[in-house]
Amino acid sequence: MGRSRTGSRSGGRRPATPRAEPPADTPDAGDPPASTPSLASATLPRVFNGVGYRPLADAARARALFDFAAIPWPERLALAWGAFVARADGERLVGAIVAERHGKAVMLHGPVIVAEDGPDDSLEAAAQLVAAAMDHAGALGGVTLYTRPQGLDRVWVRFGFIPVPEVALPPALAGRAGVGLYAWRGGSALWTLREAAEG
């Protein structure tokens, strides 16, 4: 039985496929992603499921929530966001997240959500505050974000935060109270703990 030539290899070589060259303007792994919003767009108020989210002009309004939840209040704030619901007697602050910044590293504190008479879905309200703070931190030049998980692992994992050791923290952000440490890095998923600690 003869072998068909259909589909058989010919003795010649295939023409070389040209290699794709990376664009000259490819950002370094430490640069913020190209999709980083501007500060103006990152700080626009948002509404989700009847809860309003906006930057807090007076961050001290959130201090009582943090004190009640026994979460340390940072000395110097880089950003603060609040979650608000409308009530018959006016608007009520029902959640907050704040952050401090050192160079390209940002430490998120919170989110703290009021359980009683607060939003219908506390976990979703926490996630919305985290999303707003991440956008805001990125617009401020933050590349690596850190947080203490505070039992909100589902929220942090949803946004791509991963557990990291304490040595990953830059010295300026080390020594904060809390157990466990999560981090998120913009620009590239590939990063080393040494890079992160250098800020």
Does any domain span residue 16? no
Burial, 144: exposed, middle or buried (Cβ in 10 Å; 0-12, 13-18, 19+)?
Answer: buried
Q: What is the pLDDT of residues 40-81, one digit of tens each?
A: 999 999 999 999 999 999 999 999 999 999 888 998 999 999
Neighbours of 154 (CB within 10 A): 11
Taking the C-alpha atoms of residue 141 and residue 150, their distance in angstroms, rounded to an integer, is 25
Q: How far apart, in whole angstroms, are the C-alpha atoms of residue 65 and residue 62?
A: 5
Q: Is residue 9 part of a domain?
A: no
pLDDT, greater one: 102 or 150: 102
| CB burial readout 184-198, b (16+ within 10 A) else e | bbbbeeebeeeebbe
Q: Examine residue 11 and state whether it is found in any structural domain, yes or no.
A: no
1 in any annotated domain? no
pLDDT band at 143 (very low <50, low <70, confident <90, very high): very high
Residue 149 lies in a domain: yes
Confidence (pTM): 0.77
Instruction: Specify the range with the lowest mean pLDDT, choosing from 3-12, 54-63, 115-124.
Output: 3-12
Structural domain boundaries, residue 171: 39-197
Domain-embedded: residue 14: no
Is 2 a domain residue? no
- The radius of gyration computed from the CA coordinates of the chain, to the nearest angstrom, equals 23
Domains in the chain, number? 1
pLDDT of residue 195: 54
Give me the percent of the chain exceeding a pLDDT of 90. Answer: 59
Residue 44 exposure: Cα atoms within 13 Å on the Cβ side: 7
- Look at residue 27 in the predicted model and tell me its pLDDT: 40
Nearest Cα residue to 43 out of 138, 171, 118: 138
Is 143 contained in some domain?
yes
- Residues in Cβ contact with 124 at an 8 Å cutoff, skipping those fewer than 6 apart: 48, 49
Which CATH number is 171's domain given?
A: 3.40.630.30
CA distance 99 to 139: 13
Q: What is the DSSP string of 29-89?
A: TTSPPTTPPPHHHHTS-EEETTEEEEE-SSTHHHHHHHHHTT-PPPSS-SEEEEEEEEETT
